[in-house]
Chains A and B, each alone.
Chain A
Amino acid sequence: MTDQPLNRRGFLARAASLGLTTALVTTLAPRLAFAEWNKAAFEGKTPADALKSLGVADAKESADIQILASDIAENGAVVPVQAVSKIPGTTQISVLIEKNPSPLAAVFEIGPDMLPDVTTRVKMGQTSNVVVLVQAGGKHFTATKEIKVTLGGCGG
């Protein structure tokens, strides 16, 4: 989104062409299944707690999971992480920050219409391993990457 317009008309034309819209469809929102939120997993204090609550008994390391992120983050408040799984039949991708007070950051359900490739941005209190957990064919796989943080992101 760095490539922006010179003028208002250009902006509108361009916004339309990029599908960049804020067309609003508010909000008689299906108060979705917030009940589905896995409280125990997200409140787990260690990666092991979180994995247990996610129903992961055994996870194998896999070279078919890629964690695309810079080795160093200037600021732990915002650390971009892209997780890509090349494991056939991937149905879930989760991101954990080992040393955060609650390590589990996100769980993405990868439906049949999705590619197993998601990018988000996480907070990191300090330098830590980032673990990506993939569920495929009822089995679990992980990959790990250390990201150095020059300034912690949980102090405010």
Chain B
Amino acid sequence: MTAHPRAGLATLLLVAAVSAGVARAESDATIEGIEKYREALRDGNPAELFEAQGEELWKKPAGPKSVSLETCDLGMGPGVVAGAYAHLPRYFADTDKVQDAESRILTCMATLQGVDVKKYVDARWTSPEKDELVALATYVSGQSKGVKVAASATHPKERAMFDLGKRMFYFQGGPHDFSCATCHGQEGARIRLQDLPNIPTQKGAAAGWTSWPAYRVSSGQMWSMQWRLADCFRQQRFPEPIYGSDVTVALSMFMAATANGATMDTPGIKR
């Protein structure tokens, strides 16, 4: 090696600069390709199959009382499904609780149909019981497609839920000292090619809240928001929350109320 060491270094830097440019161009092409891929999936979302199953379950007499869920009050009066998901979570006087769609469906199964819902709460994800709940939530959410999110958070219990959700969002713990905010509290973050919405902002909350329940192409599974949240807990190495429990409803309240004004695009399709 007789070449001047400086020249060598300059060449090296130049090469590094050029290859960085190439990498950027490649990643633009990648992002464009991925967009095209996602676009191709949007027409023909298999979530429609689950929506149809949910509709059938909603309308079929079931449980010890052999009645359907058609008179279920999702907050807009008995039997009103259209637009209901976009107004949830909300306070319900009959249970004196703030409920999301999924915990409210459990209430209707218990009160209208006489179903012992503990079995449904405790069942594992992918069990037939949870599949039913996810299909029902998918159907209900689909009846709010195109409706603007309008979670009120005005009742004292709703406000308390919002505050609890916010605290949970920033609560840091577990073996990795994680919080929801670790991944979802900054702009422009992503894992692999998935953008991570910045949930404390309206845009970020909307990106999350308005697109679940969603069909996940990686597993071919339909996931509800409860399942999405349970898996976020798992990824943080937190204990799995109880299905429909206050902490899950609180996080949904925080997201929904932050997303207010956005348009529901459910059921969604995801990686």
- A binding-site residues for B, Cβ under 8 Å: 1-2, 4-9, 11, 22, 69-75, 77-80, 148, 150-151, 153, 156
Contacts and interface: CB of A to CB of B under 8 A. Distances in A.
Interface of B is mostly: loop
Nearest to A79: B37
B52 A1 contact: no
12 contacts: A2-B42, A6-B82, A6-B83, A9-B82, A22-B52, A72-B30, A72-B33, A74-B193, A75-B217, A77-B219, A151-B192, A153-B218
Given A1-B48, A150-B193, A80 B37 contact: yes
Contacts of B83: 6-7
B65 interface: no
A6 B37 contact: no
Interface of A is mostly: loop
Given A4-B142, A5-B145, A75-B217, 17 more contacts: A2-B43, A6-B147, A8-B81, A8-B143, A9-B82, A70-B36, A70-B37, A71-B29, A71-B33, A72-B34, A72-B37, A73-B37, A74-B271, A75-B218, A148-B33, A150-B34, A153-B218
A72 B40 CA distance: 12
B64 interface: no
Nearest to A20: B48
B42 A7 contact: no
Interface in B32-47: 33-34, 36-38, 40-45
Contacts of B82: 6-9
